[in-house]
Amino acid sequence: MLIPINDFFNTEVESLGNLSKYNSLIFDYFMHMGYGNLCINYAKDLDMDFTFPPLFLLRSKIRDLIESGNIEKAIEELNELDISIYRNKEVYVNITCHKAYELKFIKDEVEVIQFLREALGELALEYEKEVEDFLEYLIFNSTNVDIQEKRVELADNVNYFILENISAKENELEKIIKGIVLEENVLSKKNKFTDFKERILEK
């Protein structure tokens, strides 16, 4: 049974009460990313009584499943949320390529390539870059890639796809960060400030 997305989205944004502006921004970012444990611990640290909305709990669950390597269960939860998300070509290719990364640890190279060929079909031509990246990993760099980093990367992507699918707006913290970077770039071109990266590296 599919869960009506609009009902969840309407309850996603909730007042943060007496939190300071900065704490609100940080908490909003954690919520936006679907960081369940971080949100829970942050709320406890601030002695905040907060009821997490259903959509956030589902996004957090999907993230946790992906980061633990339980990709098939994550797909089930994603389909329960909205089956159209997994049917999106980009989502499907991202998840399928990640499955191939996971299979590398239990299958030989020939079996993994066969899986990818059968699962992607003609999509392999449309998403050539993703396939090339995986084949490069498989052939040249398999011992240097941390599978956990790949899981986190996929979890981030799926979370954004979910938010994009429900037309969620950029959260306020990301807007502020982008604004700061944009202004810094403009000022740098006017030679009024050094580059942000250079300032960070200054002793």
How confident is the model over 101-153, as pLDDT tens digits? 899 888 888 999 999 999 999 999 999 999 998 888 888 765 566 889 999 99
* Exposure letters 2-31 (e unless 16+ CB within 10 A, then b): eeebeebbeebeeebeebeeeebbbbbbbb
How confident is the model over 65-115, as pLDDT tens digits? 999 999 999 999 999 998 889 999 999 999 999 999 899 888 888 999 999
How confident is the model over 6-45, as pLDDT tens digits? 444 444 444 445 557 788 888 889 999 999 999 989 888 8
